[in-house]
Amino acid sequence: MTSQSSTTLRWPREARFARFRSLLSRKTKPHKSSAMTIFLHDVTNKTANTMNLRGSLLLVAALCVSPGLSATTYIYSGAPYTLVQNFTNPCGAGPCANYSLGEKISGQFTTAAPLAPNLVNQNVLPSVTSYVFSDGIDIYSSANLNSRVDNFVFSTDASGMITSWNVIIMSWQTGTSPHAAADRLARFDLISSTPDVTENNTPCAAVVTAPSGVTDACVVFMPDASTSFGDALTSGTWTVQQQSIPTLSKWTMLLLLVLIAGAGMRELRVVT
């Protein structure tokens, strides 16, 4: 009885092998719900990668940020000449020229950062990036190879505003560098405690290193009949103009922001 029951439940050997081969050869297709799960998982990973990329770029941009340098320009407006002394005709030597009443010394200098507060008779020439002045006849400029700074001394108050100054600049008019005694030059003096004065075409008595540290300069002069002068009754005034300059780190930040935007657009195209 047991033997017959077992025999009726057992498949023939050939049928079992055929069933096994059929299962092996059957191509399975993923269920729709499984495909959707895979797609959502892929989108989630890409979104996370995008957020990680943005976060990393923003962190780098934040680390790169530093304050911009504040270039500062100090502008001088001198008092008008109330007294002029002309050279004696005919001109004996050098580039003779006369000043006119009402002309004045004007100009400016620029530093990479504002002058420090509470300076006391400080030589600020090392921090000057450029300067240019005019006395009505001659131009004195950091771009002029013949210009020399004798003094560039300033005092400031607690807010960094100029309170006193001693600026003496000259410009060689004859001879070649290195200059020698008797070479002629123009010069002006801006000293807060005395009136503005300037002179044109005056001989140099001795070529020395100036108090500012500039070489090939002159601090002793011998005016003659070919020299002319312009004098004011008082000194002038200074005004300040500041301009923010983007540093390299700011340009780097802007570039990184562009990269962030580009990365975001690229990831959106991939996801869609």
CB-based contact 57:253 (threshold 8 Å): no
Residue 121 pLDDT class (50, 70, 90 cuts) = very high
pLDDT in tens, 153-201: 999 999 999 999 999 999 999 999 999 999 999 999 999 999 999 999 9
pLDDT value for 70 = 78
What is the spatial distance between Cα 187 and Cα 162, in angstroms, rounded to a whole number?
A: 22
Judged against a pLDDT cut of 60, whether residue 226 lies above it is answered with yes
Taking the C-alpha atoms of residue 155 and residue 166, their distance in angstroms, rounded to an integer, is: 9
Q: What is the pLDDT of residue 2?
A: 44
- Residue 4, pLDDT above cutoff 50: no
Task: Work out the mean pLDDT of the chain and round it to a whole number.
Answer: 81
pTM value?
Answer: 0.67
The CB-based long-range contact list for 27-30 (8 Å cut-off, 24+ gap) reads: none
Backbone angles phi, psi at 256, to 5 degrees: -65, -35
Q: What is the pLDDT of residues 51-103, one digit of tens each?
A: 555 555 555 555 454 445 579 999 999 999 999 999 999 999 999 999 999 99
Average pLDDT, integer, range 4-27: 54
More confident of the two residues 27 and 253: 253
Mean pLDDT of 92-118: 97
Enumerate the β-bridge partners of residue 206.
220
